[in-house]
Structure 1
Amino acid sequence: MNSAILPDHSEDLGHGIFAIDTGFTRPRFDAAYLIVEQGRAAFIDTGTNFSVPRLLEALDALGLPRTAVDYVIPTHVHLDHAGGVGLLMQSLPQATLICHPRGLRHLVDPTQLWASATAVYGPEEMARSYGELVPVPAARARASSDEMVLELAGRPLRLIDTPGHAKHHHCIWDARSRGWFTGDTFGLSYRELDIAGQAWALPTSTPVQFEPEAMKASIARMLATEPECLYLTHYGRVREVARLAALLNELIDGMVRVARQAQAERHERIKQGLLDLYATSLRAHGSTLSQAQMTELLALDLELNAQGLEVWLTKN
């Protein structure tokens, strides 16, 4: 199947792996992945309800019937990764949902998930960005387990428990490409911040389950397989895994320092401290973006990371 037939928002990464820009927030911000093996397929992450037409369009462009999809595997149940799961499953009659056991019930009955996200974003933003969540029938849903291996037409996909960003997070190892589908555990890496072909990455402490030491342990566990690449939801495939892991660990420690040092006006001080931390790191990376450009590009992540660090502070 030739990548030339793919829609503009999809990219052939080789090894039967396709990245689909879900269209959430801005171009090249949020990816879903489609793995194709001998005419069978699996989606890893889905984006939101508004992303589902793009995912189905990719299937159609590859000449794959809806019945060819065996698995839908969100890395975790945050809505930019799993908000479209229920609606997508309605179009995939043979697919089984594979979800972390801590998150599975929230996709079978999304009432609490919706309420929790609404408390963070507000009802207007929820409706605008995510749409109404569609439940997944329990009979079509299955919990993952640590070191679980799924077979996609004989192609093994290994799932491991990877807390740090969220307790309901797993990552997926594809031995064929020697790559991890990392969700948010291995942070965020935006292509606008690449310098001379080298990626930059930052950890994500989105509320409410950020755990810095667990995140570092999850990163170390993935590195132990000596991966050649990582498939990040935000955004796309990156290489230079060891360098990025060292950068993430450095920034995780820096974020913790920022949070602990903040006192009065804690939220704004954390946000400013994070911006200063990331700007210093980006300039060392070679970025010539202005502080204002960095602030605009990272605005959502600064807000969410500050909120997550505040929650973590209250627990520690």
Structure 2
Amino acid sequence: MTHPGIHTIDTGFVRPRFDAAYLLVHEGHGAFIDCGTNHAVPRLLQALPEAGIEASQVDWLILTHVHLDHAGGAGELMTHLPNARLLVHPRGARHMIDPSQLWAGALAVYGEEVMEKAYGRLRPVPAERVVEAPDNFTVDLAGRSLRCLDTPGHAKHHMAIHDQHANVCFTGDTFGLSYREFDTDKGPFMLPTTTPVQFDPDALHASIRRLLTLKPEAMYLTHYGPVEQVEHLAGKLHEMIDAMVTIAQRVENPPDRHTRLTGALTNLYAARLAEHGWQGDRESLLHLLGMDIELNAQGLGVWLDRERR
């Protein structure tokens, strides 16, 4: 599927077709939506001449949220975009101006060697170049309206962007994950992401419903690419959120809770993929979803602890 002026960029994070950024070009002006890590910056800059514009013609870098696979390269990219401003949810702005807390949090999980290899050192964005986007804030890209919608559930600092010209939404992680390797004749396979630490199932359900009220032609996911038949796919996402929450609620708090969560999620995804007509084996499933299973289990654990306080 193609929509006018929208260019999908594979950031190269983890594996091919895992992590996307988008470049919108309209009437000689450009806006990036998400940017991946520092290592993606050369790919983003290479996309500019291929789309017919120069770095000086980029007006905006718009972040759906500040998780590092979406925003880790923001500071580095902004040094190459002399006329651009960075647009971010009000809750995320301070982390772009001073990314030390983002770095420290990820460092505690992954360690310095992995952080440097996977993300590169985070660079701050000058405060005067950062614009906060409250709910319904609208960017005018040379006459093309991009409306920012507060969409919590995956993270409190998450927003989706409605491109009213193409009538599509850039959903970050709110509309889940859909890897092309799982496509079958039944279409895309949808998976919610409950990455720690702010998963909220009620808010996520509400955010998905809000996006559907726009009746978009497609959802542009960071992980990965555009998907259509959005009403049908939203139904699958709602079902999967409920199934994952049920699994979490059945695990009380034994010492092996995380192991039990990862095992139960693996079984759930394997069963749903089989229903979807995917022919891969368990080893292939773990190769493609191992990171997501681990992070989803962690996020469900954090949510359980918060709910039981």
Could you tell me the TM-score, scaled by structure 1's length? 0.95
Counterparts of 2:250 and 2:32, CA distance in 1: 41
Are the equivalent residues in 1 in contact too, given 2:199–2:299 (CA < 8 A)? yes
1:130 Cα deviation after fit = 0.3
Question: Which residue of structure 2 lines up, in the alignment, with residue 269 of structure 1?
Answer: 260
Q: Is 1:199 aligned to residue 202 of structure 2?
A: no
Task: State which drifts further: 113-122 or 102-111.
Answer: 113-122
The aligned residue for residue 8 of structure 1 is none
Q: By how many angstroms is 1:214 displaced?
A: 0.3
Distance 1:287 1:187 in 2: 18
| Runs of at least 4 residues off by over 4 Å | none
Equivalent residue number for residue 3 of structure 1: none
Structure 2 counterparts to residues 157-176 of structure 1, below 5 A: 157-176=146-165
State the Cα deviation string for residues 279-305 of structure 1 (Å, max 9, x = none). Answer: 111111111111221122100000000
Please give the residue correspondences for 1:131-210 in structure 2 after superposition, counting only pairs within 5 Å: 131-196=120-185, 198-210=187-199
How many Å separate the matches in 1 of 2:95 and 2:203?
A: 23
Q: CA deviation at 1:251?
A: 0.7
Question: Which residue of structure 2 lines up, in the alignment, with residue 311 of structure 1?
Answer: 302
SS in structure 2 at match of 1:220: helix
- CA shift for structure 1 position 227: 1.1
Q: Deviation digits for residues 192-236 of structure 1, max 9, x if unmatched?
A: 000026101100011100001100000000001111100000000
Deviation of the 1:13 alpha carbon: 3.1
Take 1:61 and 1:88, find their aligned partners in 2: how far apart are those partners?
17
The reply on whether 1:19 has 2:8 as its aligned counterpart is yes
User: Distance between the aligned counterparts of 2:283 and 2:45, measured in 1?
Assistant: 37
Alpha carbons 1:98, 1:141 under 8 Å: kept:
yes
Q: Give the Cα separation in 1 of the matches to 2:92 and 2:130.
A: 11
Q: Following the alignment from structure 2 to structure 1, what is the Cα–Cα distance between the partners of residues 289 and 206?
A: 25
Count matched residues: 305
Partner of 1:7: none
Q: CA deviation at 1:269?
A: 0.5
Is 2:27 the partner of 1:38?
yes
8 Å CA contact retained: 2:186, 2:277: no
Q: Whole-Å Cα distance in 1 between the matches of residues 198 and 108 of structure 2?
A: 15
1:121 shift after superposition: 2.0
| In structure 2, distance between residues paired with 1:314 and 1:289 | 34
Q: Is 1:52 the counterpart of 2:25 in the alignment?
A: no
Q: Which residue of 2 aligns with 1:61?
A: 50
**Aligned-pair CA distance for 1:25:** 0.2
Look up the SS of the partner of 1:91 in the other structure: coil
Aligned with residue 65 of structure 2, among 64, 76, 83: 76
The one-character-per-residue Cα deviations of 1:255-284 (angstroms, maximum 9, x if unpaired) are 111111124210010011111111111111
CA positional deviation for 1:179: 0.7
- Contact kept, 8 Å, 1:75 with 1:171, in 2: the verdict is yes
Corresponding residue number in structure 2 for 1:222: 211
Per the alignment, residue 117 of structure 1 pairs with 106
Amino acid in structure 2 at the alignment position of 1:227: P
| 2:298 alignment partner, SS class | helix
Cα deviation code 1:161-198 (max 9, x no counterpart): 00000001000001122110000011000000000261
Q: How large is the RMSD of aligned CA atoms in angstroms?
A: 1.0
Whole-angstrom CA distance in 1 between matches of 2:35 and 2:302? 27
Report the 3-state secondary structure (helix = DSSP H, G, I; strand = E; otherwise coil) of the residue aligned with 1:298.
Answer: helix
> What residue in structure 1 maps to residue 286 of structure 2?
295
SS of residue paired to 2:185: coil
Does the Cα contact within 8 Å between 1:13 and 1:19 map onto a contact in 2? no
Structure 1, gaps ≥5 residues long: 1-11
CA distance in 1, matches of 2:174, 2:111: 25
- Indicate if the aligned counterparts of 1:40 and 1:70 stay in contact, CA closer than 8 A: yes
Instruction: Name 2:115's counterpart in structure 1.
Output: 126
**Equivalent AA in structure 2 for residue 130 of structure 1:** Y
Q: Distance in 2 between matches of 1:122 and 1:302?
A: 20
